[in-house]
Structure 1
Amino acid sequence: MSNDSQRVAIVTGGSGGIGSSAARRLAADGFAVVVHYARHAAPAEEVVEGIRAAGGVASAFGADIAEEPEAAALFQHAKDEYGHVDVVVHSAGIMPLAPIATMDLDTFDRIMRTNLRGTFVVDRLAAQHIRTGGAIINFSTTVTKLQMPTYGAYAASKGGVEALTLILARELRGRDITVNAVAPGPTATPLFFEGKSQELTENIARANPMERLGTPEDISEVVAFLAGPGRWVNGQVLYANGGMA
């Protein structure tokens, strides 16, 4: 149902830790939210149900964001359901870790396909469909500054995301659309905890002056700022890491 005054957001990876928090935060700000998922519908539907229970407007949609026809169907779903698209939060990504010397090329290619090609596809569609006054919010990582071993392929993919972000911001001159990237530090999500010992987790948490891990809510506050009042922030990478770098 079209309502021109209703702001509409697509959140890719909307069933994940940061994505689901961003979806809930934008819904609380009055956005109608399309919660995207890659493979598993149940977690996305759970996010949607939570938003609706709180009085918000949301729907879920599954797509491989690295395949343009599927990603295009995601945007079409938003337009069919709500009439238009104002904000795209592109949080979908993967993070397999291994030293550069031993990472197999199939894993490297999978990281680049999801993280870099996926961003290119989503940003390309966002640039075509977002209304005047909108925002594109990509996700990088603080690891691009930290040069941590085993993160080579992941950091390389996110370095590419930053380049796309900064250039797209300049390419959209005159359209009143902001394009920025959020670069979280270590954040307490299932993706972060996977494969880490408690000791390692505690050491990482102490690495910033706040001496704690970030929370998904910490990151979604930055997203909400960029999606709403932060209109004079454009073509930037915002580091949300407690002062880690």
Structure 2
Amino acid sequence: MGKLMDETGEIGIRYLGVARQATFADVVDENGWKIRSRGHRSFPNTYEKINAFTFPTPQAGADIALWRYNQDEYKESFCSASTWNQLRSKKERVTWRKLVWFSQAVPHHSFMAWLTFRNRLSTGDRMRLWGITQGCTLCGEVNETREHLYFACPFSFMIWLNTAGQLIGEGITPDWDDTIVSLLQPGRTRLDSILVRMAFQTVVYTIWRERNSRRHRGDAYSYY
């Protein structure tokens, strides 16, 4: 149930006659628990819990360390996955996760796609918050946003169309939200599904690199 100190506080272990650093071996012998009976008056619930617990005996064998597998289950072997699931802060799954994390993806492409879905790229609308004016270096649009870059920008849409047009067919669109809906539509074969996701991530990554390359070179359609 945890540490006795957490249950009763400093005054509680004094009432029960238990040292701060005491272990099980210090507070139990063949006759039972070595705790003061007067603790029952001040901490009746704790006292009842302790006395209801079967105290350890040599006949029961040596103690072993157990790892918490989930909320109510312990195992002798350590599992990194279950430990991580207990430590991390869980949030609701997003619908676009399948477009970002899959075994065939290129890691840095997946990371770029994740940043894009989180809208964490330094596009013009976000740079304005930092006092920097930056238009679309691909087509000259003054108001550069994620939605413009993917794929309302004529330049980026042509890249997207030429790369994934045959795979997606009539579902291909310059609208960001519609594109995500189209990519998540069921009905594709496993191979086509993998190819579409890889094409999407590759285009997202390539467009961002080209956009930054033009910005740093100071090519046409750069605005500062």
TM-score by shorter chain over 0.5: no
Higher Rg: 2
Structure (1/2) with the larger strand percentage: 1
Select the structure with the greater relative contact order (CA < 8 A; seq sep ≥ 6): 1
The TM-score by the shorter chain falls in which range? under 0.3
